[in-house]
Structure 1
């Protein structure tokens, strides 16, 4: 019996690879211009990601779907562990120490693929009725969305927590929830907003909001806007991109890499990059409608599309001064091992769900 059926590869989403690779190449090119040491480290992340992609692509996920809740609760336990034994960096406790190798693990990154799989698992086992989920089902699903949100907010990491919250409820919106429930949520949020701002948002987060709405933006955003404006229509040569080369633009390889990109490639380049992201997001959301009754793929693909959309939107709006600075990287573009590897693992899981969806049918045909 053949161990691998070539028809599996026929269901591999080649368009997804075609849309992601330019982001990876552009990112490495920019980071190499700015910091060759970081560019070398990024190549290591690429290598690790390649191995991780192959590993997760060949995992028998559909044959072991019942293990997903177990993985979800492992992720929750790791988020809880941050509260007690977490490592603090720059005033935030978001990491767990890894014994013997002098390194750390960020559970809020690890939980992302597990969170998407858990949503897919729950929706797969209880598909929405014709008119959408009722209040009982909505509360049940909300529990699994709100639990990681609360734990990540406590780290504190409001940016990541809000993105997961929006992704979770965005998936439910796409899959189907009765409109009366959304109307009730909108009313409750409108009424409770002053309470949330006064008692739940921390002082440093309030300062970011104050900086955002003040007449003069923060230093980081000021330098970012200068870099974007200096790029003009078609951008500058590397040696002329003085905002980045002379270190005026802070965090030019990670949180504010979009500003450096626009300084180098101008307004035209920025539109091209945004269009590339929008094509990727549209393609992922299209999988929701093309997969029909496969709710595992529908929920996971929609979640990936929304995850990229919210990260990209918030990062770019933050860089141009239209949103508070929250430290969210530009997906698959900003420098950073944890975020990059997480997204590659997410893509590998999605490709797995797509490529192996007819595996049982192939095995049945062989038996005949």
Structure 2
């Protein structure tokens, strides 16, 4: 039976799990330092995340690949329904209430796996020619990228919308698009940027950019920079990490967990953490080059690597004052369930595509 086939273990990517586990363990240790109750809740999220990982791993994804467009459009309907039935929190309408319960879901979060699978589906069915995609194919794929970008940015949730945009066009850049298209888009983007800032951004989004460009950073960023600087080369013991212990550092377990991490483990610890992320990103990126011809798995691995890189870069840049403050977590590290579970679903899908690869390597009926 398939679940005891030795070829599953042969193709299973154990390196991926070995790179993820240190991030989880270190994250929970830091969260427990700040709030033991949150650390216990995070363990529950870990359990849910691994259950989601195994469910995704066991899904017969290749056999039912034809369902992916339906999943994509169902998620688009959820995004559209936010505008009609959405629940507002903190001035943004991003959530849908689950009937007869007190729970809500955020369609923009659960859309990410569907978005990545749709990209993989389109590129697998229409691989790029040697000279790269031309305008016709590029615009066709762009439709599937820009539609959710517009719907999510309208909520407003520009951070998530921009991340999808970076993933979509980052994948196209690596897979191959004619250079003339990129040159044309670069010129258009430079011309339209001032108009986009003036007419498309909300006031609070403009304030974030203005705070970022001002000589004096915002209060949150100031406290974050102080925490990072106080960590020195090797960091401080828990009782001496005053920026966090005295609650000067805001959201120390989530958005600004990197600042607390550096306060505790210093510059050397920060370098080690960034190197761990770099190994994870490069490992995922290497899958793209190893699996020539299997565009579906290539695009999924490439998308996840872009997703982790974007989250990590924005979060760290935000904490050191090199990017506007946005609600982007440090992947697999910040406290919270939705982001972690999403990543585990994506890792489960990727592991399935890798572990069950033999089914179309050795049996052409499964291509």
Give the CA deviation at 1:4: 3.8
Q: 1:364 to 1:188 in 2, by over 3 A?
A: closer
Q: After superposition, where does 1:80-159 map in structure 2 within 5 Å? A: 80-159=80-159
State whether structure 2 residue 37 is matched by structure 1 residue 21: no
| Partner SS for 2:97 | strand
Q: Quote the Cα distance in structure 1 between the aligned partners of 2:26 and 2:201.
A: 36
* Alignment partners' CA distance in 1, 2:82 and 2:251: 26
- Secondary structure of residue in 2 paired with 1:94: strand
Q: Distance in 2 between matches of 1:168 and 1:127?
A: 15
Q: Is the Cα–Cα contact under 8 Å of residues 158 and 326 in structure 1 kept in the other structure?
A: no
Q: Spell out structure 1 runs of 4+ moving beyond 3 A.
A: 1-4, 360-365
Corresponding residue number in structure 2 for 1:347? 347
Aligned counterpart, 2:227: 227
User: Superposition pairs for residues 29-68 of structure 1, below 5 Å?
Assistant: 29-68=29-68
TM-score (ref. length: structure 1): 0.97
2:248 matched residue in structure 1? 248
Relative to structure 1, is the Cα distance of residues 228 and 177 closer, same or farther in structure 2, using a 3 angstrom cutoff? same
Using the alignment, how far apart are the partners of 1:227 and 1:325 within structure 2? 16
**Cα distance in 2 for residues equivalent to 1:341 and 1:9:** 23
Is contact 1:5–1:362 with CA below 8 Å preserved after alignment? no
Offset at residue 99 of structure 1 (A) = 2.1
State the shift of 1:37 in Å.
1.0
The alpha-carbon distance between structure 1 residues 361 and 177, as it changes in their structure 2 partners (threshold 3 A), is closer
Partner deviation per Cα, 1:216-270 (whole Å, 9 max, x = no partner): 1001000000000000000000010010011110010100000000000000000
Q: Does 1:199 align with 2:199?
A: yes
CA shift in 2, pair 1:2/1:78, >3 Å: closer
Deviation, 1:360, is 4.1
CA distance in 2 between counterparts of 1:336 and 1:353 reads 27
Query: In structure 1, what is the Cα distance between the partners aligned to 2:53 and 2:296?
Result: 19
**Whole-Å Cα distance in 2 between the matches of residues 48 and 288 of structure 1?**
28
Q: CA deviation at 1:364?
A: 7.7
Residue 95 of structure 1 deviates from its aligned partner by 1.1
- Which secondary structure state, in structure 2, belongs to the residue aligned with residue 93 of structure 1? strand
Structure 2 unaligned residues grouped into runs of 5+: none
My pick for the range that moved more, 90-99 or 39-48, is: 90-99
User: Offset of 1:100 from its aligned partner?
Assistant: 2.7
Contact persistence 1:123–1:296 (CA under 8 A): yes
> Aligned partners of 1:242 and 1:313: how far apart in 2?
26
* Structure-to-structure mapping, 1:170-319, within 5 angstroms: 170-319=170-319
Q: Give the alignment's Cα RMSD to 1 decimal.
A: 1.3
Residue 96 of structure 1 and its aligned partner are, at CA, apart by 1.0
Q: Structure 2 length normalisation: TM-score?
A: 0.97
Equivalent-residue separation in structure 1 for 2:127 and 2:337 (angstroms): 36
Give the distance between the partners of 1:361 and 1:290, measured in 2 at CA: 14
Q: Distance in 2 between matches of 1:81 and 1:56?
A: 26
Q: How many residues align?
A: 365
| Residues 3, 14 of structure 1: alpha-carbon distance in 2 compared, 3 angstrom cutoff | closer
Instruction: Tell me the CA shift for residue 101 of structure 1.
Output: 3.0
